[in-house]
Chains A and B, each alone.
Chain A
Amino acid sequence: MSAAVQANQDSRAPLLQADGVSIQFGGLKALTDFSLTVRQGDLLGLIGPNGAGKSTAFNVLTGVYQPSQGEVRVAGQRVNGRKPHQINHLGLARTFQNIRLFRALTALDNVKVACRAQGALHPTGMGVSAKLSNALVNYRDWWRALMLTPHFQAEERELTRQAEHLLEVMGLSHRRDEEARNLPYGEQRRLEIARALGTRPRVLLLDEPAAGMNTREKADLMVLIRKLRDDFKLGVLVIEHDMKLVMGICEHITVLDHGETISRGAPAEVRGDRKVIEAYLGDSYLESHGGAA
């Protein structure tokens, strides 16, 4: 399947497109002229030294920040100015670099929040009639919950079933009723992915999903990510610091440095790129090897 997808690359509709996106924080150009396309079946990498703007790119794509220039499209719709939850409803889900679980909620409830949120709402709700129908759906839902109608109870069971399934996929069934904050670090990261999957995304953005894991856990996670892409028919974009890992699983890599895209292409091409080596040798390489102060 993956090979077939590769063969007719262009016939797959882009699910997520960034086109010349820029954003500044005060005087700092955190992201400059950033472009990227994610299609179904893609497994793309986004790398760069610390402070390169990778997380900022995620924040712009998911609507946390508004780009000062350029355009973001999700499922063919321009999403500049939309709220993150609206963008999520269009099929874009993410995890966070510094884990942001609902800490006091159980693992199951964490996923159920996400499973619910995309509910029966009109995803493209911008017009008046869509807003009105959303409002009506909302009031009907509240009413059902307050009356504890059979419909509501059935829906609740269905949510539980979905969430349990996702926990199982991520190997977290044994943590079902445990509060998220009590989970070990690696499991918290996996729970974040389970939660993101709960929103039934078409594109999944993972911000350093393997951070803090040991080599073995990392390798397992990468296999899992590949499997998720195939089973859930996703496009995946991963930020990852571990070069070896990214090179190992991603088919296409974008390299950022100081907000600029300094290289893009297949892992082999990127690895040989002089600019990439400089960026890494110049910054984090030396830092992590205790070179320059």
Chain B
Amino acid sequence: METPALPVPEARSAIPPALRGILPVLVALPVLALFQWVTNESPFAVYLLSVMGVNIILAVSLNIVNGMTGQFSIGHAGFMAVGAYISGVMSLNLKEVALSFLPVAASDQVLFTLALLVGGLAAAACGFLVGLPSLRLRGDYLAIVTLGFGEIIRVVVQNTDAFGRALGLSGIPQYSSPYMIYFWVFLTVLVARRIAGSSHGRSLWAIREDEVAAEAMGVDTTGYKVRSFVISSFFAGIAGGLFAHFVPIINPGSFTFVKSMEIVVMVVLGGLGSTTGAIVAAIFLTLLPEGLRSAFNLLGTESTLAQKVDQIRMPIYGLLLVVLMLSRPQGLFGTRELWDVLPRWIPRRRRGLS
């Protein structure tokens, strides 16, 4: 049973309207700095947190399309690849460049941010080109086209010298830090939540619920679908860029259909439409293989077995999806957010989209 909405006064009403927009950023920056300082000691923790952060960005951004808008994209890794390669190549070429008026470290981070943005925008542009024709049509065209897009990217990379062909691209400066990655996690989540709570988000939900009715009520369904897809692609590109700057090498193998499916599973597992659900699922699915791998290593089994864990990921995801569809088709949280499913005694927000 649905609990009736409590007469909660407007959330955050004590904060002046002009401050509400910027406040989360002001809070996040020092928290992230602390976070960076705490985690800096252990390289493994940094690596794991980085992978997790990238996965959260991917899942939360895909959720905008697959969850909120009700479309079905299965090529998110393709957009990630675009961001990774574009920003990676850019950083490689700007390695020796430094902005003379800044300290070296700061200059690196500025150039890194620039590379990320260029990668994100390139991915967004691809999103526009892929989305515009396929989102006009109803149904499963988007799935087919995004699937094809991922493959095209792979083939292009494998045949381009500048992208290192099948061997991959190594030597990209390792600019990524938990601080930078989680700043983007924060931005992605902020954008997703603010979309969900705005009239744009309501239009996306309406499209998900009933496209014909949404169109009849004056919602430019194609326009909204394309815009949500472009935003989603942008953040996938950012995630790719962040990824490229902390792994030793990127190659087409990092952005295969398996990766795309992994992200889809995260979104479905968390509950299509739930941002916090996507976050929780991304964390879980990042830790699961790592946990298994560490467990095998601890048990002293030879490393080949640990590698096998990687190889059986796909069947595990498939199985997970099947079990999920059978037992809880709406995902862990459904369309609700974490605070909607918390125990009753915790004060909750008013039900609704915002």
Contact = CB atoms under 8 A, between A and B. Distances in A.
Interface of A: 62, 64, 83-85, 88-89, 93-94, 96, 100-106, 108-109, 112-114, 116-119, 138, 141-142, 145-150, 152-156, 159, 177-179, 182, 195-196, 198-199
Contacts of A145: 194-195, 198-200
A155 B114 CA distance: 34
B335 A104 contact: yes
B203 A116 contact: yes
Contacts of A119: 199
Contacts of B350: 177
B199 A112 contact: yes
B191 A117 contact: no
B202 A116 contact: yes
B206 interface: yes
A141 B221 CA distance: 16
Given A101-B210, A104-B335, A105-B206, A153 B17 contact: yes
Interface stretch (B177-185, B212-220, B249-257, B314-322): B212-220
A195 B21 CA distance: 30
A180 B137 CA distance: 27
B213 A100 contact: yes
Contact of B216 (A64, A154, A179): A64
A117 B209 contact: no
Interface residues of B, number: 39
Contact of B223 (A108, A113, A138): A138
A132 B221 CA distance: 18
Contact of A93 (B17, B199, B217, B223): B217
A97 B212 CA distance: 13
Contact of A85 (B202, B221, B352): B221
A147 B216 contact: no
A114 B352 CA distance: 16
A152 B217 CA distance: 21
Contact of B215 (A84, A103, A112, A177): A84
Given A113-B206, A114-B217, A156-B199, 18 more contacts: A85-B219, A94-B216, A100-B210, A102-B210, A103-B209, A104-B209, A105-B202, A106-B352, A113-B217, A114-B218, A138-B223, A146-B195, A147-B21, A152-B198, A154-B17, A156-B198, A177-B350, A198-B217
A58 to B, nearest CB: 10
The list of the 4 closest CB pairs from A to B, nearest first, reads A117-B218, A145-B198, A148-B21, A102-B209
B200 to A, nearest CB: 6
Contact of A199 (B194, B200, B209, B218): B218
A102 B5 contact: no
A56 B218 CA distance: 19
Contact of B212 (A100, A147, A196, A199): A100
**Most B C-beta atoms less than 10 A away, residue of A84, A93, A141, A156:** A84
